[in-house]
Amino acid sequence: MNQITDGMWETPNEVWMPGGGVCFEGRMTTMRLADGSLLLHSPVPIDDALAETITAQGEVSHIVAPNLVHHLFAAAAKERFPHATLWAAPGLAEKVGLSPDAVLGEEFPDDAIETLPVPTRPHLNETVLLHHPSRSMVVTDLVFNIQEPKGWAMPLLLWMIGCSGELAVSRSMKFHFAKDDWDALGPASRALCELDWDRLVMGHGQIVETGGRDALRGGVAWLPES
């Protein structure tokens, strides 16, 4: 677990696709809340050693599965921290049978976090989190920023989806959207850039430590204006 800034840590994780040619490097982001407890965003596998490292920073009170894809280790995290509230993206319980305690979109009970749904239905149903104390926007699959890909096929895949060497929305996402959602994604993404934050933390790729709003604005520039 590596510290990003005061009250925020990352835990890297690698998911290799069958065949060994594609590796998605991801991260769990841990955030300190206003009450001093911790939130785990997009959990990774948590063994005894990692659990001890996490709890040395505080009690885990919330676990967030932020979209319909990033849920693989959420149930295990809940088992590890049974008193934490498990939040799931809308539709996740129906998709995989997860039993969340709350659904993202309900009011979050701590002032440190603002939950902001973005119109990525039906493929992702992603909610991004604004961590006010660190002025950080935490997204999952809204944009990628993979600068040093692993796996022989990963550079080709990133080139095909328009994310090769740059922070960008995957162009493959367009094929998973209903037209109304697709038309709404651009304005909703640009609206995030008008809020008060600076650091951009992705589920996949290099963190933008400062100037995150401009980076996100550039990454979504090709999306529909309205």
pLDDT given at position 177: 62
**Positive or negative CA dihedral for 36, 139, 129, 127?**
negative
Q: Which of 175, 179, 178, 152 is nearest to 162 (CA)?
A: 175
Q: What is the reported pLDDT for 77?
A: 95
Residue 11: pLDDT above 60? yes
Q: Report, in this order, helix, strand and coil percent for the chain, each rounded to 5.
A: 25, 25, 45
* pLDDT tens track for 151-190: 787 787 777 777 777 787 777 766 666 566 677 888 888 9
Average pLDDT over residues 45-64: 96
Annotate 58-105 with DSSP letters as a single string: --EEEEEE-SSSTTTTHHHHHHHSTTSEEEE-TTHHHHH----SEEBT
Whether residue 222 is predicted with pLDDT greater than 60 in this model: the reply is: yes
> H or E element: which one contains 130?
strand 127-131
Highest mean pLDDT among 20-29, 56-65, 155-164, 166-175: 56-65
166-171 CB contacts, 8 Å cutoff, 24+ apart: 166/219, 167/143, 167/200, 167/202, 167/205, 167/208, 167/215, 167/216, 167/218, 167/219, 168/143, 168/144, 168/219, 168/222, 169/142, 169/143, 169/219, 169/220, 169/222, 169/223, 170/141, 170/144, 171/222
Per-residue model confidence (pLDDT) at position 179? 60
Task: Pick the closest to residue 164 from 152, 154, 176 (CA basis).
Answer: 154
pLDDT(34) > 80: yes
Percent of the chain with pLDDT over 90: 54
pLDDT by residue (tens digit) across 98-130? 889 999 988 899 999 999 988 766 677 889 999
Domains for the chain: give ranges and CATH numbers: 2-219 (3.60.15.10)
